[in-house]
Chains A and B, each alone.
Chain A
Amino acid sequence: MNLSCVSKRAVPWLFLAPALSLLGIFTLLPMLRAAGWSFTNADLLQVDAARWIGGANYSDLLADPRFRQAFFNTAFFALMVVPVQAALAFFLALWVNRPERHWRWLRTVFFIPVVVSMPVLAVLWTMLYQPMRGDQMGLINSLVTHLGLPAQAWLQNPRLALPALAFMSIWQGLGFQMMIFLAGLQNLSVDQLEAAKIDGANSRQRLWHIIVPAMRPSIIFVLTATLILSFRLFVQPYLMTRGGPEGATVSLIQVIYETTFLGREVGMACAGAMLFLLLVAALTLLQRLLAREVRS
């Protein structure tokens, strides 16, 4: 009797124990340590000798020109990717949301770049963006010259490098956002749409007055998720341009990485990580507020 009483109360915790211990050790603990370190001058190779320096990391980081450049680069990148990718994904979802087999096949096609990993695509697109050397050039320049425009050194030009990365990222993630929109579209009330058709609404009116409002949760989710994903930019600048040319593609995460492994300043890197976390938290909060507003 006693045994079963004890084990009954312990049961949920037995279920939770493995997950909680792993999360505790490998997620919570590092986060707490990072928060602590962000107020110290911890050095990568001598972390234990860290000394308290208050908010100096934060103020120095926010005043650091490279950090600021990274922030503006990353924000600009997000600004290019989020609206374009979301809009394209939405209209693609509308387009392929039909039962015929070839449309379902096309959905898979759009999803393939998502399955191909980002490092592979970073390497591939570095080659696609190769500038012209004699008659050798990357595919993008081939395309561009076919259209009569001059070939560019896409990744070596400070003004073109970030848009080039954005273009490639939009192409890569399109399929995933499209799938999420598809899910939302397929959950739409068919009756509502049928009623509207009977009432004589044309497709444009159906789109703007029924579909888009009903899709608001998905739209908000996609926008926020893409925004957060864009700010996590690292692989593309690291492999394709190394943050150049002249810092035009340096990203926030890259600055945190460099601060850790080139500058060896763990304290400052953790401060950067905390700031980044705040940003992500703020964006997520915004999404939930907007989503709640939709439901009410």
Chain B
Amino acid sequence: MKRWIGWTVSVAVAIGFLLPLIWMLHASFRPESAVFAGGFRALLSGHGLGLGNYVVAWRRAALGIGLLNSLLQIVGILGLGLLFNSMAAYALARLEFPGRRGLFALMLVLLILPVEVLVVPLLLTVRDLGLTGGHGRTLAALILPFAVKAFNIYFLRQHFLALPRDLEEAAVVDGAGPFRIYWSVALPSIRPALATVVVLDVLTHWSDFIWPLVVCTREETRTVQLSLANLFTQPPIQWGQILACAVMVTLPVLLLFRLAQRHIVASDLGAGIKD
């Protein structure tokens, strides 16, 4: 009985809290004249719903290209980032070398740097490196500056530090060099942390706005958020299509989140807070 009450309360709270998103989904299927109609009662009606907005929005916002660009950006960032960040984290956690403490302090300083501060000088740097204009070059500009992040290095370092040393010591006894220990012993042991980093990076870069706004100068290089923003500001403004585009932009990350949920343990996030 108590469980039944518990579920009812939870569902009611969930509906109330997610009402904006529920509305977004429902209204995206409505014809243009009905998008803003009637408030609550309209939410319950199935009258006149159709996929029209989705078809037109896909074309007008060039979502195919937008999704591809966002995907490539994230694959690039993850591909390079997982490797480079974990290598650096391992070095800071397990390897002895002069200047280690200083380097770690530098990481801590870089940790707080918001991307908004970097936008202007980074654009000019990227421009000077020739990474603007064409498709491949813009992708490089979207990937390279963000593959390595101080936060990821810091986060992974904490997890490397928390590993019990016996596995590594056993590997040393077996004659393994530092690379092998890193690759075959340490890295697999922090798989949950790596998964967390993947999810956080995907969430961050899927919703990237100010950097792509500034670096994607051509239609064919736009990422998914820019496609939506473009549809939002280009006349004729069709609200139903904008909503459909918003839904299509959100679905991939929601799916990923659903799949990766079991990897995000709340305590993992908490580990980052203990200094």
Contacts and interface: CB of A to CB of B under 8 A. Distances in A.
A13 B39 CA distance: 61
A142 B116 contact: no
B173 interface: no
A269 to B, nearest CB: 5
B139 to A, nearest CB: 15
Interface string B64-85: 0000000000000000100111
Interface residues of A, number: 87
A23 to B, nearest CB: 5
Contacts of B271: 183
A184 to B, nearest CB: 6
A110 B13 CA distance: 10
Given A18-B83, A183-B270, A187-B267, A26 B145 contact: yes
A219 to B, nearest CB: 10
Interface string A116-138: 11111001111110100001111
Contacts of A266: 120, 124
A292 B80 CA distance: 35
A117 B236 CA distance: 24
Contacts of A183: 266-271, 273
Contacts of A124: 20-21, 24, 243, 246
Contact of A30 (B83, B122, B147): B122
A133 to B, nearest CB: 8
Interface string B123-157: 01110010000000000000011111010010000
Interface string B253-275: 11001000100001111110111
Nearest to B208: A117
Contacts of B6: 100, 102-103
Given A108-B261, A117-B225, A186-B267, A34 B250 contact: no
A161 interface: no
Contact of A139 (B3, B23, B269): B23
A22 B24 contact: no
B224 to A, nearest CB: 9
Contacts of B116: 232, 234, 253, 256, 273, 276
B38 A119 contact: no
Nearest to B271: A183
A139 B88 contact: no
Contact of A125 (B14, B20, B206, B209): B20
Nearest to A139: B23
A113 to B, nearest CB: 7
B250 A120 contact: yes
Interface string A201-220: 00000000000000001100
Interface string B102-128: 010000001011101111111011100
B229 interface: yes
A29 interface: yes
B36 A130 contact: yes
A139 B253 contact: no
A182 interface: yes
Interface string A265-293: 01001100100110011001000100100
Given A182-B266, A221-B273, A284-B112, A119 B225 contact: yes
A12 B269 contact: no
Interface stretch (B45-53, B89-97, B163-171): B89-97
Nearest to B9: A102
A257 B116 CA distance: 9
B189 interface: no
A31 to B, nearest CB: 7
B162 interface: no
A82 to B, nearest CB: 16
A218 B179 CA distance: 36
Contacts of B144: 22, 25-26
B16 to A, nearest CB: 10
Contact of A228 (B9, B112, B243): B112
B270 A184 contact: yes
Contacts of A117: 203, 206-207, 225, 249-250, 253
B117 A276 contact: yes
Interface of A: 9, 11-13, 15-16, 18-20, 22-23, 25-31, 33-34, 37, 47, 100, 102-103, 105-106, 108-110, 112-120, 123-128, 130, 135-139, 142-143, 146, 171, 179-180, 182-184, 186-187, 217-218, 221, 228, 232, 234-235, 238-239, 253, 256-257, 260-261, 266, 269-270, 273, 276-277, 280-281, 284, 288, 291
Given A123-B242, A139-B19, A139-B20, 11 more contacts: A27-B150, A31-B121, A34-B118, A102-B7, A108-B261, A110-B17, A120-B228, A142-B39, A180-B269, A273-B117, A280-B117
11 contacts: A12-B95, A18-B87, A31-B117, A120-B207, A120-B250, A179-B266, A180-B270, A183-B266, A183-B271, A273-B118, A281-B112
Ranked nearest first, the 8 interchain pairs of A and B with the lowest CB-CB distance are: A183-B270, A117-B207, A142-B39, A30-B121, A19-B88, A26-B145, A15-B91, A34-B121
